[in-house]
Each structure stands twice: as structure tokens, then as C-alpha cells.
A = this chain, B = another copy of it.
């Protein structure tokens, strides 16, 4: 089975590694830094105390999606349009495309760009890039996708490759639940440059998070998305399960990279505005991160 992974960040490298380990013909399409390292040394894959060098192909050229049966689309939300446009002309007619991205509208946005259905996948994995072509896996790895023939096929290919796939009637709700977590923590951690455990000690932080979550749920409710479980409790629990974690938005700002805030709190603000739902807390968080993106010299260390 030929599988193309668009985006050689931590998520793309992790799933690419699992599939290559299982013998699939995997190509990772990414930036020169990682592609060069992978073509030289293979993908360095660190997990559960072992380090493997996995031979797979890597390319900076989006035409490498040609012939792939499955495309895992793993670029940042900010790059959905450009990466989609770049690969669209080369997709084989039967390719199944999955979006393994943050936010709730990437699959739809990508679908519009490439003119075909895109399956949104909710990704639960703790991974990070430890260097060029070097992915570190800290835990989990399961995906949740919606029902349908394409989903069944994808699941039958991914599951044997040590990738648990849950086919759920409410994948959309799960995608929202994950985004709401991001809306609650990402900007606060980015602005304060504090990990979640420290963050939680701040005056009023839990009230801010409650307000943000309530606004997100109001928007979800208005478009008939049922977010499963006790979202407020789940969000509050992150402080205990991930106390040392800095948000991806914090990491982006510290590296001077654009964040995904337009597709997190920014999405809630836009959608709330269109629906006439007030989202003042999300608006402040969104605006704060956009202001920090304007500042020169955001580079720093956590």
C-alpha cells in the first residue's frame, strides 16, 4: 500500500513511522531540513526507550503524493490551503485523504481546495520533534474518525500498523472537544509562557477557562455539534495530567513561528460572530496571541 504523509512535523513523522514499520510504502513530504536528514539517516523514531532508524522516502515535492492510496494530511492549519493546492493536481482519483490536524474546519477547508471529500481524524498522540528527522513519541497514538466506507478501509490498513482507530458516530464532537481544550489552554500558556500546572495557579485562570469553554460550547450547540462528556471537567483535568506541558501556541511563539490561533480561538470568534453568539473571552485570547505574533524577536526558550 502506498501512503503519502503531507507534512513532516511530529504527527506526520509518527504515523509515517508506524506505517513504514509495518511494511507500507511511505513517503513523507516536508521541509528541506527534515527531508534531507531522513534521506541521509532514515527517520529517527524514539519511543518507549528505544531509538530506531526507519527507512522511508522523503521529499520536498508535493508531486510525491502521486499514486498514494491514502494521504495523511498533517500540515499546520495555517498551511492547509497552500499545501492542499500544491498536492491537488497529483492526487490519484481513488486516494483517501485524512486530515490529522488541530481545529475543526481543516477537513472542510482542504476538501474545498482539493475538490473531494476529506475525512477529519481526531489525533490523540504525545509527540514532538527532537531534531531534524527525529521524532520522539511520549504516549498514545489513537485516531477517531467518522463512519463510512472510506473509514472502514482506512481503519483496516492502520490498525494492523499499531495505530488504534476508533470509528465513532460523533467524531465531530470529539474533534470539537479537542479544539476546546486548545482554546482553553493554548493562548494562556502562550501569553504567560507558563506550563499548564503553573498556569493553573494564576488568579482567575480557572474562571477564564470556564468562560472560554462555555463560549465554545455555545457555538458548538448552535451548529448542532454535541461535545461528548463533561467538557468543563475534562478541561480542568489537563492541569493534573499535563502539568509540565507548554501549549503548541506557546512553542510556536517562542520559535518565532505563526501559531494556529486563527483556527482555535480565532475560529470560535468568527463562527460566534456569524451566529450572533458573544465570545468576548475567546476574543481577548485570540487578539493577545495575534499581538504577540506582531512583535519582533519572540524567540526564547521555555
Bound-state Cα–Cα, A285 to B287, Å: 11
Bound-state Cα–Cα, A287 to B284, Å: 11
CB of A291 within 8 A of CB of B211, answer no
CB of A295 within 8 A of CB of B203, answer no
A280-B281, A281-B283 given as contacts; is B193 within 8 A of A295 (CB)? yes
Residues of chain B within 8 A (CB-CB) of A288 are: 188, 191-192, 284, 288
Bound-state Cα–Cα, A193 to B281, Å: 20
CB of A208 within 8 A of CB of B283, answer yes
How far, in Å, is A10 (CB) from chain B's closest CB? 27
Q: Does A294 contact B (CB under 8 A)?
A: yes
How far, in Å, is A246 (CB) from chain B's closest CB? 13
Q: State which residues 270-296 of A face B: CB under 8 Å.
A: 280-281, 283-288, 290-292, 294-295
Sort chain A's interface into a size bin: 20 to 34
Bound-state Cα–Cα, A295 to B189, Å: 12
Q: State which residues 242-299 of A face B: CB under 8 Å.
A: 269, 280-281, 283-288, 290-292, 294-295
A290 closest partner in B (C-beta): B203
CB of A192 within 8 A of CB of B291, answer yes
Across the interface, A191 reaches (CB within 8 A) one of B204, B286, B291, namely B291
CB of A205 within 8 A of CB of B280, answer no
CB of B280 within 8 A of CB of A211, answer yes
CB of A287 within 8 A of CB of B211, answer no
CB of A287 within 8 A of CB of B194, answer no
CB of A203 within 8 A of CB of B280, answer no
A280-B211, A280-B280 given as contacts; is B294 within 8 A of A204 (CB)? no
Q: Does A199 contact B (CB under 8 A)?
A: yes
CB of A201 within 8 A of CB of B294, answer yes
Across the interface, A291 reaches (CB within 8 A) one of B188, B207, B291, namely B188
Interface residues of A (CB under 8 A from B): 188, 191-194, 198-199, 201-205, 207-208, 211, 215, 269, 280-281, 283-288, 290-292, 294-295
Question: Can you name 12 extra interface pairs (CB under 8 A) apart from A192-B291, A201-B294?
Answer: A188-B287, A194-B291, A194-B295, A198-B294, A199-B291, A202-B290, A202-B294, A204-B290, A208-B280, A211-B283, A211-B284, A280-B280
Interchain residue pairs with CB less than 8 A apart (21):
A188-B287, A188-B288, A191-B191, A192-B294, A194-B294, A202-B287, A202-B290, A202-B291, A202-B294, A203-B286, A205-B291, A207-B283, A207-B287, A208-B280, A208-B283, A211-B280, A215-B280, A280-B281, A284-B285, A284-B288, A288-B288
Leading 9 A-B pairs by shortest Cβ distance = A192-B291, A204-B287, A284-B284, A280-B281, A203-B290, A202-B291, A211-B280, A280-B280, A208-B287
